[in-house]
Every structure is written in structure tokens, then in C-alpha cells.
């Protein structure tokens, strides 16, 4: 049986695929001309990105472009963005106006999980940013990262980030510094299945917070946190519950088979990383089938939730949130549920 598919010429050859025994492996360019296409990222230091690095980079681009689009649509001003990724899901993220603070907060989202991961920044990396990357909250040690992606690196930062064996890849793409609502990837998503391919439209929905159904109110800062939580959770593996507080990701409960389990995991991960969940906002990548999910969030001190409507028990969920004083923002599940990555 011939197991090979003619994909054309590779744009980048990987040492191996997801595992060492999966060879050969490569990135094939679609020739789209997209300035954020993976083959438009240039390695300025370190080994060529691995297959897994490229998968994580694709996810980082999905998340960061949705953060940019969310703020662009809901305020017209795109903040500086920092996102850390491990095994295909964001484990740290922050948005703000200070590059040093955004870098710190993205790392602090989960200091343990980010170790060995990838970090994408939408601003240039200078020596100060590089020092935070390597030493922030490391108690005298050095943080090991598989790669850092940014619009540019200073010469000093490039030298500081050098890792033995060229294991910290530095990738550059100037287009990262110009992202807005027009940066979302609108191309079809294609997935190989035995004997053929599945194809579907990409996830390009961006909620307009001013037009969602509201039960209760939220401060401007909480609205910003909702946008950040939506962009992270909607591009994570479903079922997802995402917690954000103070402009940073504090807990991402991803890949759960039930929604209340996602709530419990997000809270647990936040607490395990040393974060308080009091005053946090939450995002659910689809509707709550029961009120048990909001109950877990309320018990942890969450004050506002962005989710979708469409459950036969929507009214039960609304009643519970109203009784507990939990702000609930809803838009139709048929319009904007998360991408449900599987």
C-alpha cells in the first residue's frame, strides 16, 4: 500500500514529526502570500523549528490574532500581546501597554507549564525583555524555552537568549507587530483522515461585547479581561473554561469531556499556580448545560462570565447567576461558540 501523499515541495524540513520515529517530516507551504504564514517566519538563532514547534506556532497565531481582533473590534486599540504555549494550548497570556509587564504576566500565568514551551510576543525583544524571559522568578536559575517568536530581536537579546545546543529557537516576523481584526486566518482548515480529508471554514468570529445579552454589569477592566479570556479559550482545545484577572491568564481548563470539569480544572490550575481567583472573569467556549459550572466559578470568587446561550436549561443558568450576583454575558452558540479544537 502506498502511504505517501504528494504535497509538493517542502518549505522546511523537520528533524522528525511528533515523535522521533516519525520521519521524514516537513512543513509544506500553501503559497497563500499570507504575511503570517508559517513559512514567512525566519530563524535568526537556534535549530530549525520542530514539527511540534510549528504546531504550537500555528496555535499561538490563532490565539494572538484573536486577541488582537477582539480588542480591535471592541475598542479600536490593539494592545501589546504576549502568549505562552505548551502542547498546543495557551498556558500564559497577557495584554497591555508595557512590554516588560506583558512579558512578566504571560510567564507568571503558569511558571511551571511555560518551562520548555514557546512564547510569542507582538513587540521587539530587547535586553530587558530577554532578561525577564530568562530570569524572572527563577531564583537564580535560567528558564529553558524551546523558542521565542517576535517581530525583532536586538543583537544583545539574541546573544542573551542563546541556549546550549541551539535548542532555543528565535523566530522573527515583522508582521506580528501589525496585527488587527484583518489578521485572522480565513482559509479553510483541512485535516487528513484515513483515505481523504476533512475541510471546514476557519474560526473568524469576534464578539461585540456591546451587543451581547447582559445579566448584570461589568467594569471596563472586566470587559477587557472578558475579551482576553474569549480569545484564549475559543482557540484552546474544547471543552475549555478560561480564567483571566488583571489582564493576564490565570487558569486554562482545557480538553475536558464535561463543562463543569473544565471549570474545576481552570480554578485548580489557577490556585496551583499561586493565583487568587477572587474577582476573576471566566469564559466558556460553549453554553452551560447545567448551573453546576457557574456554581463552581461563583464558589471560587469569579464575578463575571462570558459564555454562549443555547442550552435547554439556559433559564436555570440565568436564574442561578442572578441569585448569586454573578454577571453573565451571553451570545448565541450558533454564532460564536469556540473553535472546539480536537
Residue of 5 and 117 predicted with greater confidence: 117
CA angle centred on 305, ends 283 and 241, rounded to 5°: 30
Q: What is the pLDDT of residue 7?
A: 81
Mean pLDDT computed over 228-232:
97
Given phi > 0 = left and psi -120 to 50 = alpha, else beta, which region is 13? beta
Residue 1 pLDDT > 60: no
Contacts 24+ apart (CB under 8 A), 10-13: 11/38, 11/39, 12/38, 12/39, 12/48, 12/49, 12/54, 13/48
Residue 210 pLDDT > 80: yes
Q: What is the pLDDT of residue 3?
A: 62
Query: Phi then psi for 293, rounded to 5 degrees?
Result: -65, -55
87-97, pLDDT tens digit by residue? Answer: 999 999 999 99
CA-based nearest residue to 229, from 77, 86, 118, 74: 74
Please report the domains of the chain, with CATH numbers, ordered by start residue: 10-182 (3.40.140.20), 209-336 (3.40.140.20)
> 3-class DSSP state for residue 94?
strand
- Pairing type for strands 147-150 and 169-172 reads parallel
> 3-class DSSP state for residue 199?
strand
98-130, pLDDT tens digit by residue? Answer: 999 999 999 999 999 999 999 999 999 999 999
317-342, pLDDT tens digit by residue? Answer: 999 999 999 999 999 999 888 877 76
Q: What is the pLDDT of residue 85?
A: 96
Q: What is the pLDDT of residue 163?
A: 86
C-alpha–C-alpha distance, residues 124 and 129, integer Å: 9
Q: What is the pLDDT of residue 166?
A: 82
Average pLDDT, the chain: 95
Q: What is the pLDDT of residue 203?
A: 93
> How many of the other CB atoms lie within 10 Å of CB of 299?
12
Name the DSSP letter for residue 297: H
250-277, pLDDT tens digit by residue? Answer: 999 999 999 999 999 999 999 999 999 9
C-alpha–C-alpha distance, residues 213 and 96, integer Å: 27
182-196, pLDDT tens digit by residue? Answer: 999 999 999 999 999
C-alpha–C-alpha distance, residues 162 and 46, integer Å: 7
Mean pLDDT computed over 285-291:
96
Q: What is the CA radius of gyration of the chain?
A: 20
Q: What is the pLDDT of residue 108?
A: 97
Whether the upstream peptide bond of residue 322 has omega within 30° of 0, thus cis, is no
Residue 191, judged by CB atoms within 10 A of its CB (0-12, 13-18, 19+), counts as exposed
C-alpha–C-alpha distance, residues 202 and 339, integer Å: 8
Q: How many CA atoms lie within 13 A of 212 on its CB side?
A: 27
49-89, pLDDT tens digit by residue? Answer: 999 999 999 999 999 999 999 999 998 899 999 999 999 99
The residue count for the chain: 342
CA-based nearest residue to 281, from 225, 337, 336: 225
Q: What is the pLDDT of residue 336?
A: 85
Mean pLDDT computed over 128-149:
96
Buried b (16+ CB within 10 A) or exposed e, 229-257: bbbbbbbbbbbbbbbbbebbbbbbbbbbe
Q: What is the pLDDT of residue 2?
A: 55
pTM as predicted: 0.96
Amino acid at each position: 500500500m502506498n502511504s505517501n501523499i504528494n504535497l509538493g515541495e517542502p518549505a522546511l524540513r523537520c528533524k522528525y514529526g511528533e515523535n522521533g520515529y516519525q520521519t521524514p517530516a516537513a512543513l509544506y507551504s500553501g503559497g497563500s502570500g499570507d504575511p503570517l504564514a508559517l513559512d514567512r517566519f525566519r530563524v535568526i538563532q537556534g535549530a530549525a523549528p520542530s514539527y511540534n514547534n510549528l504546531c504550537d506556532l500555528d496555535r499561538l497565531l490563532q490565539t494572538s490574532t484573536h486577541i488582537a481582533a477582539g480588542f480591535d473590534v471592541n475598542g479600536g486599540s490593539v494592545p501589546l500581546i504576549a502568549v505562552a504555549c505548551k502542547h498546543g494550548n495557551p498556558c500564559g497570556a497577557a495584554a497591555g501597554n508595557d512590554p516588560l509587564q506583558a512579558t512578566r504576566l504571560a510567564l507568571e500565568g503558569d511558571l511551571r507549564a511555560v518551562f520548555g514551551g514557546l512564547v510569542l510576543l507582538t513587540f521587539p525583544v530587547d535586553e530587558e525583555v530577554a532578561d525577564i524571559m530568562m530570569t524572572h522568578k527563577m531564583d537564580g536559575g535560567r528558564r529553558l524555552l524551546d523558542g521565542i517568536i517576535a517581530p525583532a530581536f536586538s543583537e544583545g537579546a539574541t546573544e542573551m537568549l542563546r541556549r546550549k545546543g541551539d535548542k532555543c529557537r528565535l523566530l522573527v516576523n515583522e508582521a506580528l507587530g501589525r496585527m488587527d481584526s484583518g489578521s485572522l486566518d480565513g482559509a479553510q482548515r483541512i485535516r487528513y483522515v484515513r483515505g481523504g480529508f476533512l475541510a471546514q471554514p476557519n474560526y473568524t468570529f469576534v464578539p461585540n461585547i456591546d451587543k451581547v445579552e447582559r445579566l448584570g454589569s461589568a467594569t471596563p477592566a472586566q470587559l477587557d479581561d472578558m475579551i482576553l479570556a474569549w480569545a484564549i479559550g475559543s482557540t484552546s482545545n474544547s471543552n475549555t473554561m478560561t480564567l483571566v484577572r488583571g489582564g493576564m491568564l490565570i487558569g486554562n481548563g482545557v480538553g475536558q469531556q464535561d463543562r463543569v470539569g473544565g471549570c474545576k480544572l481552570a480554578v485548580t490550575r489557577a490556585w496551583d499556580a499561586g493565583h487568587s481567583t477572587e474577582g476573576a472573569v471566566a469564559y466558556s467556549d460553549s453554553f452551560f448545560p447545567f448551573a453546576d459550572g457557574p456554581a463552581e466559578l461563583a464558589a471560587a470568587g469569579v464575578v463575571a462570565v462570558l459564555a454562549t446561550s443555547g442550552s435547554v436549561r439556559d433559564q436555570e443558568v440565568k436564574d442561578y447567576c442572578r441569585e448569586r450576583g454573578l454577571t453573565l454575558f451571553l451570545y448565541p452558540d450558533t454564532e460564536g461558540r469556540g473553535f472546539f479544537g480536537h
